[in-house]
Amino acid sequence: MFNKILIANRGEIAVRIIRAARDLGVKTVAVYSDADRRSLHVAMADEAYPIGPPAPGESYLVIEKIIDVIKRSGAEAVHPGYGFLSENNSFAETCEKEGIVFIGPTSEAIRLMGDKITARRIAQEAKVLLVHGSEGAVSDVEAEVIAKRIGYPIMVKASAGGGGKGMRLVRKEEDFKGSLRMARSEARSAFGDDSVYIEKFVERPRHVEIQVIGDSYGNILHLFERECSVQRRHQKVIEEAPSPAIGDDTRRKMGEVAVRVAKAVSYRSAGTIEFILDQNGNFYFLEMNTRIQVEHPVTEMITGFDIVKWMIRIAAGEKLPFRQDDLSIKGHALECRVYAEDPEKNFLPSPGKLEYLRTPSGPGVRDDSSIYNGYEVTPFYDPMLSKLIVWGGTRQEAIKRMRTALCEYIVLGVKTNIGFLRRIMENEEFVRGEIDTSFIERHPELLPPSLGEISPALIAAALAMRNSTKEVETSKQAPASNWKLLSRKLAVSRNPLI
C-alpha cells in the first residue's frame, strides 16, 4: 500500500478521497487555488500546497504544477477525482513517464474511450448496439446530409464531450445549422476540440449506466446499474440505484455488455459504461467515463462496495478478491445534487457566504460535501454544495427518507435548489418511476416555489428569534410571540426545524 497520495482535485470529491485514504492508513496531500485556501479538503489533508489563482486554467488544470507538488511532497500516487484532469490522457501519461502511479485507468484506455467516436467504434467491435448515426467526426456538409438521411430529431454531439457540453438536440431541419454552430463553439471552448458527430435522437429515453471495476490482472466486474434520467440541460440532477425500469434479465445483459466493453480496452480501476434505454426496453451504448462518477455513492449504498477505496487498492497492485456472483443488490438508494443556484432565475449560480447550515442525518442518510458554516461559495467552480444520499429497503422507503432529509437541510446565505428537489420527490410520476431525460422539461410546475413553502428569510427570522429567547425572558404580556407564530407556520409546512 502507498504511504502518501496526492488528490488533484477540490471540494467534496477531495474530501471523499481523503476519508478513503485514512481508512487505508494512507497520508494525503491536497492542492488548492487561492480561492480554496480555507476549503475543508485543505484542512483535512496531512499536507496542502498552493497551486495558483482561482481560475482552473491557472491552477487545477495545470499539469506541471500538479506534478511539481507530487515530487515536492514525496507522494507516490495521484487520485484525480472527477472533472479537471481526471480524463486527461496527457496527465495520466505524464504520471506514467515520471514513475507516479495514476489512481485510475491507463493513459491508453483514457485516450481510446475519451474520444466518443473511437469509443463507439470499440463498442461496435465488441458487438454492442449503438444508436444510428455518423461513423465518425463530420464536416458541416456531411453532418447535414447524415441528419437528413437518418431523419429528425437528431443530436449533435462533441467528439471530446462530456457533462452535457457541446451537445444540441435538433428537432427541425431549419434549426440544424444554428445548433451545429453552437455545438462546435461550446465544444471548442470546453475541450479545445470542435469536432462533432451526429446521432439519432431517441424519444423519451432513460439514461442508465453500469458501474465497472477492474484490477491489473484482467479481472473486471460490474456493480450493477444506476438510473440517471432526471436531468436538466443534459446534466444529472437525481440518480438512483437500482433502476426502476429494468428487470433481472436486462440487468444481467447490460452488465455483461459493460464488462465486454471494458475488457476491450483492458480497463483498470473504476469506470462507467453509459446506455440509452428506449421505451421498448432496448439499450444502446452511449459512452464510457474513465473516472469515478459523481453519483458513485448510490452504488456503494446498495452493494456495500467502497469504490474509492478499491481504486486506491487496485492502483497499489491488489487483486479483486470478489467474483461477479459474490455481488448483490440490497435495497434502494437515491442521490440529490444540492446546488447553490436560483431555480427562479433559470438556475443561475448563487455565490455567497453560508450564514447558516444544517445538514440532515439519521439512519440511511449520507451527505457528501465540503461545506461548513461560514463557507464561501465562489463563482469560479461548479456550484454544487453537496450530494445528499439516502438508502431504504425499497424505492418507496428511500423516497420518503429523501423527503425527510431534504426538509431537514437548511442553507442560508445563498439560494439553493433544495425546494426544487423536494417537489420532484413529491411528484406522482417520479414516485411511480415514470421518468426519462425530458422529465423536468415536461413538468414546469416543479420550478416555482409551492404554496406554503418556507422562505430562507422566514427560517432565518425564526432562528434569530429562538436564539434571542434564550437570552431574554419572554414577557407575560406577550404569550403569543412572533416566535410562536413562526413555529406554527414551520409546523404547518412539515419542515422539522423545531
Q: 403 an active-site residue?
A: no
Q: Are residues 180 and 51 in the same domain?
A: no
Per-residue pLDDT at 389: 98
Residue 189 confidence (pLDDT): 83
Q: Are 230 and 160 in contact (CB under 8 A)?
A: no
| Residue-by-residue pLDDT tens, the chain, 498 positions | 999 999 999 999 999 999 999 999 999 999 999 999 999 999 999 999 999 999 999 999 999 999 999 999 999 999 999 999 999 999 999 999 999 999 999 999 999 998 888 998 999 999 899 988 888 889 999 999 999 999 999 999 998 766 678 899 999 999 999 999 999 999 888 888 899 999 998 889 999 999 999 999 999 999 999 999 999 988 899 999 999 999 999 999 999 999 999 999 999 999 999 999 998 899 999 999 999 999 999 999 999 999 999 999 999 999 999 999 999 999 999 999 999 999 888 899 999 999 999 999 999 999 999 999 999 999 999 999 999 999 999 999 999 999 999 999 999 999 999 999 999 999 999 999 999 999 999 999 998 765 445 555 556 556 655 565 555 444 444 444 444 444 444 444 444 333
Does residue 349 share a domain with residue 269? yes
CATH number of the domain bearing residue 163? 3.30.1490.20
Whether residue 369 sits in one domain with residue 247: yes
Q: For residue 451, is it within any domain?
A: no
Q: Are residues 228 and 251 in the same domain?
A: yes
Full residue range of the structural domain in which residue 190 is found: 132-200
Count of domains for the chain: 4
The verdict on 240 and 274 lying in the same domain is yes
- Is there a single domain that holds both residue 194 and residue 214? no
Whole-number Å distance between alpha carbons of 9 and 294:
13
Q: State how far the Cα of 281 lies from the Cα of 445, in Å rounded to an integer.
A: 28
Sheet of 196-200, strand order: 165-170, 154-162, 196-200
CA distances from 443 to 111, 157, 336, 428 (A): 39, 25, 18, 11
CA distances from 274 to 119, 259, 383, 464 (A): 11, 12, 24, 47
Residues 179 and 212 in one domain: no
In this structure, the answer to whether residues 349 and 294 fall within a common structural domain is yes
Question: What pLDDT, on a 0 to 100 scale, did the predictor assign at position 489?
Answer: 47
The predicted structure's pLDDT at residue 491: 43
Write down the pLDDT at residue 332. 98
Do 20 and 41 have their domain in common? yes
Question: CB–CB of 337/51 below 8 Å?
Answer: no
Q: Is residue 53 part of a domain?
A: yes
Catalytic residue among 226, 291, 313, 401: 291
Q: Do 154 and 91 share a domain, yes or no?
A: no
Nearest to 353 by CA among 38, 13, 16: 38
Could you tell me if 63 and 141 lie in one domain?
no
Amino acid at 228: C
Taking CA atoms, 301 is separated from 101, 226, 293, 386, in Å, by 28, 12, 14, 17
User: Which residues, including other chains, have CB under 8 Å from residue 208's CB and lie 6 or more apart?
Assistant: 225, 226, 227, 228, 229, 243, 245, 246, 254, 274, 275, 276, 277, 283
Question: Cβ of 326: how many Cβ atoms within 10 Å?
Answer: 9
116 belongs to a structural domain: no
pTM confidence score: 0.86
Supply the CATH number for residue 215's domain.
3.30.470.20
Looking at the fold, whether 464 and 359 belong to one and the same domain comes out as no
